[in-house]
Structure 1
Amino acid sequence: MSETVIRAEDGAAFMINVFDVDPENQKELAEVMSEGAEKYIRHRPGCLSVNLLTSNNGKRLLYIAQWRSKADIKAALGDPDIQRVRERAAELANPDAHAYTVYALHHPES
């Protein structure tokens, strides 16, 4: 089983895109973003994981891509296939994308 692992010390970079979407478009947006992740993103050098989360009220979608470095994010964003996916997503919703690094992690005691 593969899983997303977040560690403060590994220097990973994250591209997090918060989409505000009309509830009737949320499923289509999720399908567009999931297909783009499967066909293009996960095969890019430096991609560690892609996670999609949909809000229960249908008004938001979170796209969280974990990368080895910010340079890997920048290179992926230059890919014409990825640009087309982003353009299609922007037709369905209002995106707000930013790059992030881990500041702190907190876990319950074992």
Structure 2
Amino acid sequence: MSTTPQTVIDTGADLVTLINVFTVAPERQAALVAALDRTTREFFATVPGFRSANVHASQDGTRVVNYAQWASAAHFQAMLRMPEARPHLAAIGALVEASDPKLYEVTSVHRPAR
């Protein structure tokens, strides 16, 4: 059995989900994905309360979505206050035209009928 944290999409999960939709110029999409991947490995994954992250790139090249899970909103807010976070967040911010980060809770999950 793996002990590696995994994304959990369940109404009973004790966590919060950050969904951040980035608007990006198509020629910068790959650089943004690479920056999010690198920052997650090197920094976010080391922060207390981090649970998982998934990066999605739109097929038209204009959006990147970061779906990240944290133990609590307090853990996420504490990360934002860390001085070590600033250079990582600035590097990501330099690549985007806009971002829309919000914290969410899972309210329903649907699967195919059997």
Q: TM-score, normalised by structure 2?
A: 0.88
Structure 2 residue 23 is the aligned partner of structure 1 residue 35: no
What is the CA distance between 1:60 and its match in structure 2?
0.4
**Offset, 1:83:** 2.2
Runs of 4+ in 1 over 3 A off after TM superposition: none
Which residue of the partner structure matches residue 106 of structure 2?
Answer: 102
Structure 1 residue 11, shift from structure 2 partner: 2.6
**TM-fit CA distance, 1:44:** 1.2
| Superposition RMSD in Å | 1.4
Q: Larger % of helix: which?
A: 1
Query: What letter matches 1:57 in structure 2?
Result: D
Deviation at 1:59, TM superposition (A): 0.5
TM superposition score normalised by structure 1: 0.91
Q: In the TM superposition, what is the alpha-carbon distance from 1:45 to its structure 2 partner?
A: 1.2
Structure 1: runs of 5+ lacking an equivalent: none
Q: How many aligned positions are there? A: 110
Once the two structures are superposed, residues 2-36 of structure 1 have per-residue CA deviations (whole angstroms, 9 ceiling, x without a partner) of 54221111231011110000000001111111111
Q: Distance in 1 between matches of 2:18 and 2:48?
A: 15
1:80-91 counterparts in 2 under 5 A?
Answer: 80-91=83-94
SS in 2 for 1:6: coil
**Quick one: percent identity of the two aligned structures?**
30
- The whole-number CA distance in structure 1 between the counterparts of 2:88 and 2:47 is 15
How big is the shift at 1:81?
Answer: 2.6
Where does the alignment leave 5 or more consecutive residues of structure 2 unmatched? none
Once residues 8 and 109 of structure 1 are traced to their aligned partners in structure 2, the CA distance between those partners, rounded to angstroms, is: 18
Shift of residue 52, structure 1, vs aligned partner: 0.5
Q: Is the CA contact (8 Å cut-off) linking 1:11 and 1:101 kept in structure 2?
A: no
**Residue identity in the other structure for 2:53:** V
